[in-house]
Amino acid sequence: MSGHEEHPVDDRAGAAPTTLATGRLEAFSDGVIAVAATLLVLDIKTPEGSDALWPFLGHQLPTLAAYVTSFLTILIFWVNHHALFHAVDRADRTTLFLNGVLLLTVTFISYATSVLGHALQTGHNDSAAAILYALTLAAAASCFVALWLHLGRHRELLSPQARPRVRAALRRSVTGPVLYTTAALLALASPPASLALDAGVA
Amino acid sequence: MSGHEEHPVDDRAGAAPTTLATGRLEAFSDGVIAVAATLLVLDIKTPEGSDALWPFLGHQLPTLAAYVTSFLTILIFWVNHHALFHAVDRADRTTLFLNGVLLLTVTFISYATSVLGHALQTGHNDSAAAILYALTLAAAASCFVALWLHLGRHRELLSPQARPRVRAALRRSVTGPVLYTTAALLALASPPASLALDAGVA
Amino acid sequence: MSGHEEHPVDDRAGAAPTTLATGRLEAFSDGVIAVAATLLVLDIKTPEGSDALWPFLGHQLPTLAAYVTSFLTILIFWVNHHALFHAVDRADRTTLFLNGVLLLTVTFISYATSVLGHALQTGHNDSAAAILYALTLAAAASCFVALWLHLGRHRELLSPQARPRVRAALRRSVTGPVLYTTAALLALASPPASLALDAGVA
Amino acid sequence: MSGHEEHPVDDRAGAAPTTLATGRLEAFSDGVIAVAATLLVLDIKTPEGSDALWPFLGHQLPTLAAYVTSFLTILIFWVNHHALFHAVDRADRTTLFLNGVLLLTVTFISYATSVLGHALQTGHNDSAAAILYALTLAAAASCFVALWLHLGRHRELLSPQARPRVRAALRRSVTGPVLYTTAALLALASPPASLALDAGVA
């Protein structure tokens, strides 16, 4: 558990590693986040033969707004993920687990987006769908808080330059869950306003 | 905002970076573009049990033409993306944002392709669909113009060798939006001619 | 077939390699595993216009449980894959083939998950589906046993530091297939208990 | 067009490159090939509530056989792709274009697989579908021949160690198209035998 080393070589190769260098972890996370972002487009329906295209797209505006919001939000999460793992030299089991939960919630965004787009378009369930959507984003954002909390307690996992800055990063990461939880509450009153707040955070 | 450094090390690790090295940005963009290109194939319908295969494929020729055009166009965009980020040493927030919008439009190509293939096959909406398609490509190509414009004003983000060439790159990048906008106008008269021009650009 | 070299340069470039450095093999495997994990979310159904969202999600709990279990299990497989290839310097044809079968079973997890979620929800086939699911995980876990067995017999493929530890890694890798096979047997009596054991392994 | 340099640095950064280092090209190709391989699993149907699982899977055996064959074939193409680009130092426009066509045919394999699985199961179109499938594989394999032919004529693109071996690689690459074309002819007589030959090549 001593963990940190100058050169990121795992000295337990061949055994289950207690800590691991973050290169492949970043590549794998990039893959999951990139696929999650790209799959969003599959939710936009194509018109049937008899529909005129422009009115059809106009009718789909809520779905398109949800698609753009989710895509840009996932990009922001990716930027934050990049900043976080840039600061990390070695990942331990807890970091791996928290990163796993983060990736799980990021893939779930595509489901929440699909539900929200459909609900805004039909007018059914729009409040519940906006709550689900905002809570999903809040859950993803909370994983960053949990990661920074964990890294703050295990600074040996961070690069030497990053250690003095972990507190500031933690403080900044708290904004996300707070705003997304506010958006969830706002959804009780006005689903479109809630989505606008979600988009504003991005 | 001083940004540029000889060695691409982020001196604000642990904090929200003001600029960031482009390695992982390229990897993430590769992921999104690769998935967007691969998803195109999901639009080609498989025959029902009773259809004969060759006539069925013949009937699907417009969809297949749209698939091939989109795939090769996305590859060209990838080559241009590669050339652009090869010239970039550090990405600032604006670069990240413009790259994000570029990736968004690239994933939207798969939607526009699906609409176009369906419209050409049924004869409904073919003009509108060809306009949507050409405008989507024009939007993606415009992101390159915006990126080169931004980099031309912030040459400290570029590698020293790339700086003298940014004007030429900007001038060259303008061709794309011009040709795709022409294709959009052409679609008012002849959707297949518009698609042919789109394909010709690739 | 002498294989191991200090510098991972393929001395048969341009010819079919007899062994190959593992960098791109890891990147490709990352891609397949990341996509397989992300596709799982496509199985969760979105509500039709008239369904209320929360009861609908409540009704989908078995599907959601299967989704979370599969996602985390695939992440664990990825961690094991990382640990294994971290120990490998050069891959020979057998390593490539076994890795290919491992990737095949990992992508099949998404099918088994889909079948399981549907079966648990409808109550039809739940025992058979839980057996299929546990056997799929057992097959994937067995690929790790086969890989460590092969590497134990061809230690020249391993990095020098990893060689003394290959036995311990092999012994540890046997736990997976044993537990998943137990879960398959348990499914005859109680499908939910079987899924709980699968989740417990993760 | 002088192309080859000791250090793979593009001396035209900021301009459209005439040749480019292959690192990101490999990463992008890995992404497309990995996604194409993983998408294959989406073709396997899940049982409806009333079907018993094991007979249902038994009935799906042709689809499963096509899935396994395609997955392993795509892996072999990936291995060949790896060997080829390991030999390449710099890619010119023709290499990029041929690689693009290769990636296009690889993504098309998932379509041909879907058509084949459906046809073998229903007994409709099975001969035509097996021809389409074998010709798709032949087209992908032909791209390797074209790439080696091009590289044989532009040896400055190859790494110095790879240059003497390009003839042998070209000769070996011809086997693929020959065998797959044979499989296409064989499909006129017996579709399952044709698929068996396709699988045998892998």
Token code pair at residue A153:
């307690």
Token code pair at residue D96:
């990029």
Token code pair at residue B114:
């699906």
CB contact under 8 Å between B86 and D17, yes or no, is: yes
Residue D18: the pLDDT is 63
Token code pair at residue B78:
């990838």
Closest Cβ opposite residue B162 in set D13, D27, D32? D13
Distance CA C91, CA C103 (A): 15
Token code pair at residue D157:
């693109």
Distance CA C48, CA C34 (A): 29
Looking at beta carbons, which residues of chain C come within 8 Å of A12? 165
- In chain A, % helix, strand, coil (3-state, to 5) comes to 75, 5, 20
Residue D24: the pLDDT is 86
Residue A18: the pLDDT is 63
Determine the straight-line distance between the first and last CA of chain B, rounded to whole angstroms.
37
Token code pair at residue B66:
């749209």
Backbone angles phi, psi at B156, to 5 degrees: -65, -15
Average pLDDT on C84-96 reads: 92
In a domain, A126, yes or no: yes
Amino acid, single-letter form, for residue C49: G
In a domain, C4, yes or no: no
pLDDT, tens digit (0-9, with 9 covering 90-100), for A117-167: 989 888 888 899 999 999 999 999 999 999 999 999 999 999 999 999 999
Tally of residues, chain B? 202
Average pLDDT, chain C: 87
In a domain, C11, yes or no: no
Amino acid, single-letter form, for residue B199: A
Amino acid, single-letter form, for residue D177: P
Residue D43: the pLDDT is 87
Would the pLDDT of A15 be above 50? Answer: no
Would the pLDDT of B7 be above 60? Answer: no
Closest Cβ opposite residue B14 in set A34, A47, A169? A169
Q: List chains adjacent to chain A, taking adjacency as at least 3 C-beta pairs closer than 8 Å.
A: B, C
CB contact under 8 Å between A115 and C53, yes or no, is: yes
ipTM (interface predicted TM)? 0.88
In a domain, A172, yes or no: yes
The range of the structural domain enclosing residue C187 comes to: 19-201
Closest Cβ opposite residue B35 in set A35, A46, A162? A35
- CA triple A185-A190-A191, angle to 5 deg: 85
The phi-psi region of residue D52 (left if phi > 0; otherwise alpha if psi is between -120 and 50; otherwise beta) is beta
In a domain, C171, yes or no: yes
CB contact under 8 Å between A34 and B39, yes or no, is: no
Distance between A47 CA and the closest CA of chain B, angstroms: 7
Distance between B189 CA and the closest CA of chain D, angstroms: 30
Distance CA B164, CA B172 (A): 14
Long-range own/partner contacts, residues C54-62 (CB < 8 A, 24 or more apart): C54/A128, C57/A132, C59/C121, C60/C121, C62/C117, C62/C120, C62/C121
> Which residue bears the tokens 């057998």?
C94
Distance between B31 CA and the closest CA of chain A, angstroms: 6
Average pLDDT on D86-112 reads: 94
Closest Cβ opposite residue A53 in set B42, B100, B132? B132
Measure the CA dihedral C171/C176/C181/C187, to 10°: 150
CB contact under 8 Å between C35 and A35, yes or no, is: yes
Amino acid, single-letter form, for residue C25: L
DSSP B10: -
Residue B49: the pLDDT is 65
Residue A38: the pLDDT is 94
- Interface with chain D: mutation pick from B48, B57, B77, B82, highest number of D CBs within 10 Å: B82
Among A68, A180, A82, A72, residue whose Cα is nearest residue A131: A180
CB contact under 8 Å between C30 and A24, yes or no, is: yes
Q: How confident is the model at residue D9 (pLDDT cuts 50, 70, 90)?
A: very low
- Interface with chain B: mutation pick from D9, D12, D20, D42, highest number of B CBs within 10 Å: D12
Closest Cβ opposite residue D124 in set B49, B161, B165? B49
pLDDT, tens digit (0-9, with 9 covering 90-100), for D39-68: 999 988 888 767 788 999 988 898 999 999
CB contact under 8 Å between B158 and D114, yes or no, is: no
Distance CA A96, CA A85 (A): 11
Q: Helices B93-122 & B61-87, crossing angle to 10 degrees?
A: 170
Interface residues of chain D, partner chain B, Cβ below 8 Å? 10-17, 20, 24-25, 27-28, 31-32, 35-36, 39, 42, 96, 100, 103-104, 107-108, 110-111, 114-115, 118-119, 122, 124-125, 128-129, 132
Q: How confident is the model at residue C202 (pLDDT cuts 50, 70, 90)?
A: confident
Distances (CA, A) of B35 to A64, B26, B121: 20, 14, 25
Distance CA A115, CA A107 (A): 14
Would the pLDDT of C134 be above 60? Answer: yes
- Interface with chain B: mutation pick from D63, D97, D125, D127, highest number of B CBs within 10 Å: D125
Looking at beta carbons, which residues of chain A come within 8 Å of C168? 14-15
Token code pair at residue B77:
């965009």
Token code pair at residue C124:
């039809």
pLDDT, tens digit (0-9, with 9 covering 90-100), for C32-70: 999 999 999 998 888 876 778 899 998 889 899 999 999
In a domain, C142, yes or no: yes
Among A127, A196, A200, A141, residue whose Cα is nearest residue A173: A141
A122, C49 contact by CB (below 8 A): yes
Distance CA C8, CA A44 (A): 46
Residue A3: the pLDDT is 35
pLDDT, tens digit (0-9, with 9 covering 90-100), for B141-177: 999 999 999 999 999 999 999 999 999 999 999 999 9
DSSP for A152-182 reads HH-GGGB-TTTGGGHHHHHHHHTHHHHHHHH
Would the pLDDT of D4 be above 70? Answer: no
Distance between A165 CA and the closest CA of chain C, angstroms: 29
pLDDT, tens digit (0-9, with 9 covering 90-100), for B47-80: 876 778 899 998 889 899 999 999 999 999 999 9
In a domain, D187, yes or no: yes
In 3-state terms, what secondary structure has residue D177? Answer: helix
In chain B, the percentage of residues whose pLDDT exceeds 70 is 91
Backbone angles phi, psi at A105, to 5 degrees: -70, -35
Token code pair at residue D140:
């992908």
Count of H helices and E strands in chain C? 8, 2
More confident residue, B46 or D144: D144
Looking at beta carbons, which residues of chain B come within 8 Å of D24? 26, 30, 82
Q: List chains adjacent to chain B, taking adjacency as at least 3 C-beta pairs closer than 8 Å.
A: A, D
Distance CA C145, CA B164 (A): 56
Q: How many domains does chain C have?
A: 1
Looking at beta carbons, which residues of chain A come within 8 Å of B114? 46
In 3-state terms, what secondary structure has residue C92? Answer: strand
Q: How confident is the model at residue D13 (pLDDT cuts 50, 70, 90)?
A: very low
In a domain, D12, yes or no: no
Distance CA B40, CA A75 (A): 22
Residue C71: the pLDDT is 96
How many contacts (CB atoms, under 8 Å) link C and D? 111
Pairing, β D19-21 against β D90-92: antiparallel
Looking at beta carbons, which residues of chain B come within 8 Å of A168? 14-15
